[in-house]
Chains A and B, each alone.
Chain A
């Protein structure tokens, strides 16, 4: 084991700690810095969303958490143990992003096969039931639809009956109905006192199903907090109006408005509470024209947070600071 792992074992045993994780990959134009200094602590029993656009470094972070990748720098501690030990003890159940199922077995056989690898697995029937695949337990794994495959992969993760359940973009292949069923299962499992970490690029999923969200962009954490707070930060809306001759500062003082940009005759109000802001705006400036209210998508919100240019360590840092402050102000 590396020295990093030894450092990790000093951590309190009821926590998951990612400390100073850095990982680069070789790319055609020099190294790609996929993860650049990630620090996260997760308490036992928490459900945490790792939220970010594609390419933010979520999967790389999860691979390091699971011990599938060695960090270039930093360490991982899972309830006081390095990943390899936690995995060997059967403390982690994972649903990875890519992959099909093992062929030439039925669903039930596959789950039984996986259950046999763990010290205290769930009952196979129970895992099939929880994941909603009891009815297809007799089918061969290579003959399933995308949604069914995804649910079987959930069963693979659940049957391990882990302390920590890690899900990398678990609902990507699911339709709306499947998604709801999936999260219902997930909540029931988390309610057994399990720690759950899931990666997603859907803000709504993080909002609805996690206690806390960790936002990643360009390989760094740009925010970390309760989902309500995160939603307020990321889920900003903008109000755009044609409003000549009004001081930007005056508009910025309106309730619910975070900041104001002026573009010629138009003003753009970045709002934390667009409902309050629009009422106040119409009351204060009844002659405002061409009013548009738009929700910023997650990708745009991240771009705004991290700067448009190529990601640099300093840029990310500054954005994180600005972000952090706006969170504290409220």
Chain B
């Protein structure tokens, strides 16, 4: 029964063009603005990663983060018009409700990912099949804490405040995560970045170097964010609905 529901939820999301602007249009435009002049740089500022790959993954991280967190925008909008109350008197369980929201967000993220992979390939990104797969797997995993963040914000904020909060938050996460430019291997910013989930999301590009893009520290940081944000999201949901 949730499949029909999911189908209409996807339909709604696709019809809402604002979404595409942030999670798809913006990263694509930036990619094509930044990369062509530097497409032959093979080691971007000592990161060891070719320029096109660096920005392909960076913009993918940016767009997919937006796609995930924007599920919070849809939750906030439903809350604002009282639709969440209408849903709470249907047999749709909260679990299924969130499952549909997160699956929808992942579908949108996948769309963003495909578009940027195509853009990257068109400007000379070359990876082996297993590297593409591994990178994709890491990005999909790395998006889990952002899904929780989206759900949390959706229950804390209003549709009016969630836009600026998302825009600012994602820009900051992108900056601190080294999505705009490499943060180097030393200094405060580079130390700090290793505790930021967006850093590890962008680190997926390191599949090109061989070895493991995520160190054990990376896994621990991502798991900690996932657990922490999920707990906060659950709390925000309970407080919002008065359920105990």
Interface residues of A, Cβ cutoff 8 Å to B:
66-70, 87-90, 92-94, 96, 98-105, 109-110, 112-114, 116-119, 156, 160
Contacts and interface: CB of A to CB of B under 8 A. Distances in A.
B85 interface: yes
Given A96-B82, A98-B82, A113 B8 contact: yes
B89 A117 contact: no
Contacts of A99: 81-83, 85-86
Contact of A117 (B11, B77, B92): B92
Contacts of B93: 88
B83 A102 contact: yes
A114 B2 CA distance: 10
A105 B11 contact: yes
Contacts of A70: 242-244
Nearest to B15: A104
Contacts of A90: 90-91
B8 A105 contact: yes
Contact of B89 (A67, A100, A101, A102): A67
Contacts of B91: 87-90, 117-119
A224 to B, nearest CB: 25
Contacts, number: 81
B128 interface: no
Contacts of A87: 88-91
A68 B9 CA distance: 23
Given A88-B93, A89-B91, A99-B81, A112 B4 contact: yes
A117 B78 contact: no
A41 B219 CA distance: 57
13 contacts: A89-B91, A90-B91, A93-B89, A94-B89, A96-B82, A99-B81, A103-B77, A104-B16, A105-B8, A105-B15, A113-B9, A116-B8, A117-B1
B117 to A, nearest CB: 28
Nearest to B241: A68
Interface residues of B, number: 27
B26 interface: no
B86 A96 contact: yes
A166 to B, nearest CB: 8
Secondary structure of the B contact surface, majority rule: helix
5 interchain residue pairs of minimum CB distance? A99-B82, A116-B4, A100-B81, A113-B8, A104-B12
Chain A interface, DSSP helix/strand/loop, else mixed: loop
Contacts of B13: 104
Interface in B60-98: 77-78, 81-83, 85-86, 88-93
Contact of A66 (B5, B82, B89, B243): B89
Contacts of A94: 86, 89
Contact of A109 (B11, B82, B83, B89): B11
B240 to A, nearest CB: 12
A117 B83 CA distance: 14
A272 B11 CA distance: 59
B127 to A, nearest CB: 37
A98 B77 CA distance: 14
A100 B8 contact: no
Given A94-B89, A117-B90, A160-B90, A101 B83 contact: yes
Given A90-B90, A104-B11, 12 more contacts: A67-B89, A68-B85, A68-B88, A68-B89, A68-B242, A70-B244, A99-B83, A101-B83, A105-B8, A113-B4, A117-B91, A156-B86
Interface in B1-36: 1, 3-5, 8-9, 11-13, 15-16
A292 B3 CA distance: 65
- A88, A96, A102: which has the most chain B beta carbons within 10 Å? A102
B12 A105 contact: yes
Given A105-B11, A116-B5, A100 B90 contact: no
B12 A96 contact: no
B4 A102 contact: no
A3 B92 CA distance: 24
Nearest to B93: A88
B1 A116 contact: yes
Given A113-B8, A117-B5, A101 B81 contact: yes
Given A114-B90, A119-B91, A160-B90, A103 B8 contact: no
